[in-house]
Structure 1
Amino acid sequence: MPPLPPGETSLITLRLRGTLPAATARNLQNTLAAAQAIGLCHHRARKQVFGHFDAALDERPIGPQYFDSEAVATKLAGEFTMLAELGFVVHGFVILPNHAHAILHLPARSSLSFAKALDLLHQRTEAACRRLVRPKLPPEALFWQPGWHEVPLADTAELTRALAYLRRQADRGRLAERYQAWPYSHE
Structure 2
Amino acid sequence: MPHAVLDTLRTEWEQLDKQHTMEDLYARQRRYFGRFDKLLDQATAGPTWLRNPAIANVAAEALHYYDDYGYFLVCYCIMPNHVHLVVTLPDAAPPLLRTLQSIKSYSASKSNALLGRAGQFWQRESYDHIIRDAGEMERIISYVLENPVKARLTDDWQLWPYTYWHEL
**TM-score by structure 2 length?**
0.85
Q: Indicate the structure with greater strand content.
A: 1
**TM-score by structure 1 length?**
0.77
Alignment of 1:109-120 (within 5 A): 109-120=91-102
Moved more, 30-39 or 124-133: 30-39
Q: Which runs of 5+ in 2 are unaligned?
A: none
Moved more, 41-50 or 176-185: 176-185
Residue 38 of structure 1, CA deviation:
7.3
The count of residues paired between Structure 1 and Structure 2 equals 163
Distance 1:87 1:149, change over 3 A: closer
Partner of residue 68, structure 1: 51
Alignment of 1:76-115 (within 5 A): 76-107=59-90, 109-115=91-97
The DSSP-based 3-state class of the residue aligned with 1:152 is coil
Larger RCO: 1 or 2 (CA < 8 Å, sep 6+): 1
The DSSP-based 3-state class of the residue aligned with 1:92 is strand
Q: CA RMSD in A?
A: 2.2
Q: Which runs of 5+ in 1 are unaligned?
A: 1-19
Q: Percent identity?
A: 23
Cα distance in 2 between the residues matched to 1:60 and 1:165:
15
Amino acid at match of 2:57: T
Distance 1:150 1:87, change over 3 A: closer
Cα distance in 2 between the residues matched to 1:65 and 1:99:
8
Amino acid at match of 1:151: H
Partner of residue 23, structure 1: 4
Residue 178 of structure 1, CA deviation:
7.8
